Amino acid sequence: MKSRIWQLPVKQSNSTDHDWIHRGAKYHAFIDNESICGKYGQNTGFFETSIDEKEIQENPNLACKKCLALASDYYCNNCRNSRYFYNEVSVMAIKMIDNKQGKQHDKIMHIDASNVDNYYEENIYCYKCKKQVSEPITTFIEKRD
Ligand SMILES: [Zn+2]
Ligand SMILES: [Zn+2]
């Protein structure tokens, strides 16, 4: 699975050597150094403002609303597709052997889409650009009383 990093956006100041974080800043979901809401870009390996996704699951209000909404479903940060995704499965088919090596020789035939193997691949890909995407986040809504 492709990993998503929840990190506070860091503003780099030109006037000082200090990087700073805006008070009350929310955690954004970064994939390939870009927040999925499209607002921030930063080298996530460079800053130490990340928290574990578990923290976001338990406290969804710590997160940027848009990032959280997009991360709650499959979402492709590369082409902004939020609808069609796939994983790879294997199905039953036959491969023809023709002793006379005719046109049908070596052809994959009788593909049976109803006979899907149990070997589902773990990775999920974007149907549009084929980039691997992250598993959706599930949040625990706090129950009062
Ligand atoms: Zn965001
Ligand atoms: Zn895509």
pLDDT digits 0-9 by tens, 43-90:
999 988 899 999 999 999 999 999 999 999 999 999 999 999 999 888
Is residue 81 in a domain? yes
The CA distance from 70 to 141, in Å, is 17
- Which ligand is closest in space to the CA of residue 127? 2
The CA distance from 9 to 114, in Å, is 47
pLDDT at residue 24, as a whole number = 83
Instruction: State the total domains in the chain.
Output: 1
The CA distance from 121 to 133, in Å, is 13
Is residue 43 in a domain? yes
Is residue 141 in a domain? no
State CA 102 to chain mean position distance.
45
Is residue 109 in a domain? no
| Cα-to-centroid distance, 99 and ligand 1 (Å) | 61
The CA distance from 100 to 132, in Å, is 42
Is residue 142 in a domain? no
Is residue 22 in a domain? yes
pLDDT at residue 45, as a whole number = 92
At residue 140, does pLDDT exceed 80? Answer: no
Q: Are 113 and 89 within 8 A, CB to CB? A: no
Tell me the mean pLDDT in the region 105-128. 87
| Cα-to-centroid distance, 34 and ligand 1 (Å) | 9
- Which ligand is closest in space to the CA of residue 36? 1
| Cα-to-centroid distance, 70 and ligand 2 (Å) | 13
- For the full predicted model, state whether its pTM sits above 0.85: no
| Cα-to-centroid distance, 65 and ligand 2 (Å) | 21
pLDDT at residue 23, as a whole number = 75
pLDDT at residue 145, as a whole number = 56
Is residue 33 in a domain? yes
Q: Which two tokens stand for residue 46?
A: 């460079």
| Cα-to-centroid distance, 138 and ligand 2 (Å) | 21
pLDDT at residue 21, as a whole number = 75
Average pLDDT, the chain: 89
At residue 142, does pLDDT exceed 80? Answer: no
At residue 1, does pLDDT exceed 80? Answer: no
Q: Which domain holds residue 49?
A: 5-87+122-133
pLDDT at residue 18, as a whole number = 66
